[in-house]
Chain A
Amino acid sequence: MKIVHKKYILLFALTIMFAATSQAQIAKAEIQATGLTCSMCSNAINKQLKSLAEVENVEIDLNTNTFTVTLKENNSLKPSVFKENVEKAGFFIGSLILTVKPETIAKEPYILLDGKEKQANEILIQVLDKGYVTNKTFKKLSKSYKNSLTFNNNDETDFHIKVLN
């Protein structure tokens, strides 16, 4: 029993270390949702987001129609989790802005399209891919970034980003 216990502790410690050093980490997500009906008039998105184990808190700003999702530390969520859950609730993402550590976006699956990499404690990035902006915005973006080798491939496993701060 004791040995098993030790193994678990070791595994736990390794997991934490691994998570802290190598996982892409998102601290916060600001989501604006769109749909046929008023997204703030439904409790569905809020409920769906709160059902995720990695979610610490969801705040709703009724002036900007934004859901601010605070995530637990050392999570390994990808931006796609927000798209999937907002769509599960019956809505679409109109805009997704993430607060991340600078090292997060320096590697896959993030591709920097606009803005400069910064050495700040936290940086704000917007995901520009299809399904993460409104259709109208996406059309504009695909023209603006027509020279990008990957943007218009609509590969769902990579995320094209713009650094906002």
Chain B
Amino acid sequence: MNIKINLLAFLLLIFSINANAQIKVGDRLPSLELLNTSSEKINVNQFKDKFVLIDFWASWCAPCRLGNKKLVKLHAELNPAKIEIIGISIDTDPNKWIKAIAKDKITFLQLIDPNGFDAKSALLFGVEELSSKYLFDEKGILIMKNPTEEEIINLIK
């Protein structure tokens, strides 16, 4: 009986650790394959030797849409050989996603994981609110969560 309870507690513990698995500063950019706007599979870890900024957003998230405008400007300012900006949308309706990309004039890479906060990428990264940004360095190590524009510019210079 006691062993059973212990086992149960142990399993619960393991499960809760897994359930809360999320990327911490110092962790490596995981392999994660999602579709882009042309329905091609793209792995977020395929960009070697450059910084990677991942931005989680959705078309219905008003603060994210404002953030998109800033990211578009930032993307134009930065050297594309040094940083890859990747937007991951958790929109459940891909049409709304496509429309939002056109409206916000986004030119950087856009991927979709159409399952809201239950999306596997959102769970993997531990996204609890939108927008959420993750900045990885040239070696693919997470160095900052939600960096400011200034912080990104200073690092990429």
Contacts and interface: CB of A to CB of B under 8 A. Distances in A.
- Do these two chains really belong together in a complex? yes
A62 B117 contact: no
A68 interface: no
Contacts of A62: 60
Interface string B103-129: 000000000000011000000000111
A43 B60 contact: no
Interface stretch (B61-69, B73-81, B136-144): B61-69
Contacts of B131: 41
Interface in B26-47: none
Given A46-B117, A60-B116, A40 B61 contact: yes
Contacts, number: 29
Nearest to B117: A43
Contacts of B58: 41
23 contacts: A37-B63, A37-B129, A38-B61, A38-B62, A38-B63, A38-B130, A41-B58, A41-B61, A41-B62, A41-B63, A41-B64, A41-B129, A41-B131, A42-B128, A42-B129, A42-B130, A43-B128, A43-B129, A44-B128, A44-B129, A46-B117, A47-B128, A62-B60
Top 7 nearest A-B pairs (CB, nearest first) are: A43-B117, A41-B130, A42-B129, A62-B60, A41-B61, A43-B128, A38-B62
